[in-house]
Amino acid sequence: MASPLQSLLGNESSYTKSFQIFLDYSTEHQCMHEFIDTILQDHLTSIGNDKSELNVLGIGSGKGQIDLHILSYLKLKHPGVSINNEVVDPNVEHLKSYRELVAKTPHLENISFTWNTMTASDFKDKLDKETEARKFDFIHMIQMLYYVEDPGEVIKYFHGLLAQNGKLLIIIVSGNSGWERLWTECRSQLCYTSANHYVTSDDIMKTLDTFGLKYQHFDIPSTFNITECFGANNEIGDLMLDFLTETVNFRATAPPDLRDDVLALLRHPDCSLEKDGKFLFNNTLTAIIVES
């Protein structure tokens, strides 16, 4: 019997809507900005070897808020240097928002943007067909390795595109996050497809160790206020559940026992902290900076 569950990843509009709710109710972007301000900026100083031009690649750049924050520090650390920023993301709505953000953001002189509405795999194929090999001084993969068929091979390929003194930034959910517990308990019943993989920072660091790559890692504490999930007839809570389970209209279409199990697990201390009547899902991230 076919599963009644529909993957959120196959419905771009639904994904975009639920993802925005996640951003609105989580501290994810605020915590990433803090990481960039306090840690990443120092690591950006050494890239480029005093070149007059830097090549930057963002894979899965989304709406561009994090990209532009990183680019602001690249401009600061490398004054007067031209920056070629290559953007890769398959979500049309996200790239539209990114373009609109660029249009209204000041002080982007010396930065050029190339837009690629495609997956990481499609972009790899595009590069492989080019007659001249390209190198990048900084590559970032932020919250996107869940959506590739083989995360290890993607890391290996794009790491191989780093220029001398280049760096690869990976940000992904921590192995100590609520996501890890949710996936461990429920992945076999959720709408698993070849387009989503339940990987955490632990998996990625094991892969990097296997490849013998040098890296540093930093935890980024973050929470997702999922209190609305536990109210009835609540559109925001429904969208939160959709995002957490990667399922379209999860509350209405999931078997009752699965829905109840997921809601119970989300309340569990292994997933969420209950504080002042709110349930704060453990959305802790790990940032991994890989050397060339």
Cβ atoms of 163 and 292 closer than 8 Å: yes
Annotated ligand binding at 93? The verdict is: no
Cβ atoms of 285 and 175 closer than 8 Å: no
**Rounded Cα–Cα distance for residues 32 and 83 (Å):** 22
For 91, other C-beta atoms within 10 Å of its C-beta total 19
**Rounded Cα–Cα distance for residues 107 and 150 (Å):** 37
Task: Return the bridge partners of 243, or none.
Answer: none
- List the structure tokens of 174: 């921590």
**CA distances for 62 relative to 16, 21, 71, 141, angstroms:** 10, 14, 15, 11
Cβ atoms of 124 and 153 closer than 8 Å: no
Annotated ligand binding at 28? The verdict is: yes
Binding-site residues for substrate: 28, 283
Binding-site residues: 28, 283
